[in-house]
Amino acid sequence: MKIRQAFLLGFINQKGTALILLTLVMTMLLGSAALVADLGVNYFTQARLSVAADAAALAGGTQLGAGGDRAIQAAQDVAAKNGIFADALSVEVEPNNTGITVKAKAPVRLFFGRFFGLRTAEMEQQAHVVLARPVSMERLVPVGIDQSKVFTIGSRQQLFEKNSKSDEIDLGSGNSGALEFARQSTGAQGFEEQLRLGWSEPISKGDILETKSGVKFSAVKSAMEDRLTRAAALPHQCAPGSCPSNCPRIVYVPVYRILRYDENKVSRVEVVDFAAFWLEGTRRANGSWQIEKEIPGIFIGLQKGGLRSAVGESPYGIRTGKLIR
In this prediction, residue 137 carries a pLDDT of 96
In this prediction, residue 250 carries a pLDDT of 96
In this prediction, residue 237 carries a pLDDT of 83
How does strand 302-303 pair with strand 318-324? parallel
Question: Following CA atoms 213, 216, 221, 223 in sequence, which dihedral angle do they give, to the nearest 10 degrees?
Answer: -70
Contact criterion met (CB below 8 Å) for 59 and 75:
yes
How would you write the pLDDT of the chain (325 residues) with one tens digit per residue?
555 555 444 544 555 565 565 555 555 555 555 555 555 555 667 788 888 899 999 889 888 878 899 999 999 999 999 988 888 899 999 988 889 999 999 877 665 555 555 566 777 889 999 989 999 999 999 988 888 877 788 988 777 766 665 555 554 433 446 888 987 777 778 888 999 999 999 999 999 999 887 777 788 888 989 999 999 889 988 888 888 899 999 999 999 999 988 877 788 999 999 999 999 888 878 777 777 777 788 999 998 888 999 988 888 989 998 898 7
pTM of the model: 0.74
How does strand 143-146 pair with strand 250-262? parallel
Angle, alpha carbons 316-321-325 (nearest 5°): 140
Q: Which residues sit opposite 158 in a β-bridge?
A: 296
- 263-299 b/e (C-beta count within 10 Å ≥ 16 → b): eeebeebbbbbbbbbbbbbeeeeeeebebeebbbbbb
Supply φ then ψ for residue 252, to 5 degrees: -105, 130
d(CA 227, CA 222): 9
- 315-324 b/e (C-beta count within 10 Å ≥ 16 → b): ebbbbbbbbe
